[in-house]
Amino acid sequence: NIHSQAWYQEQQPDFFKDDPQHLTRAVSGLACDHYRRYRDDVALLANLGHKAYRMSIEWSRIEPQEGQWDHAALAHYLDLLERLGQNGIQVFVTLHHFTHPLWFDQMGAFTKAENLRFFERYLTFLLPKISAFVSGWNVFNEFNQWGGLWGGPELAQLKFNMLRAHARGYHLIKQYSTAPVSSAHAFVHWFPRRYHDDLDRRMAAHADFVTNEFFFHALRTGELVYPQVDAGFDPDVKGSLDYWA
């Protein structure tokens, strides 16, 4: 997947600077080679009796260069989706799973509100072509932990932009699909180290808010709230999910 920002990052000479023995980080390789073996993999899923399958569609394969659509990559995903359906397997599609095109990343990705239009354009291209095959949606995978689980005010704008991008994805999907929509949330249950220590309880509550409650609160109310920054309101965010993922 050579057009994603993750591929680019792992090619850099200092990629292993924090792990010189390569114990926990490695460059990507064939792994299970699903992209090429997907026909056999779908047959295996069917033989095992699976009735549902969660998968991601990689933006950087569909739009490797800004404004240029790779129709062969689109055909790949359409064939995969159709084969899953033919085998009685419901498909749950994630539209953004940590990675995106390098060109988008170099523009600042989701840290800049003006870049959300690129994500919308991608979805406008993709959604009408795949929606007939999809039984459930995640717009994003676990963006609440982007920037680390202990986020300071410098992450507020990214969090707000991601909430808005999720909401725009939700409403775009609704134009083409009646299937339920959400974004996967990485829920972390925080505990104070010393329960009866007031400061420990306050810090645990802070950690819970910046990883969990900012997301839940926004989706319930449309209010974009994060510690140490001015709050905002976006009516499109309010209620923009159909189930907790």
Residue 142 bears catalytic tag: yes
CB 93 within 8 A of CB 57: yes
The residue from 10, 82, 142, 223 that is catalytic is 142
Any idea which residue has 């104070």 for tokens?
192
Task: Identify the CA nearest to 38 among candidates 74, 83, 2, 92.
Answer: 83
Report, as residue numbers or ranges, the catalytic residues: 142
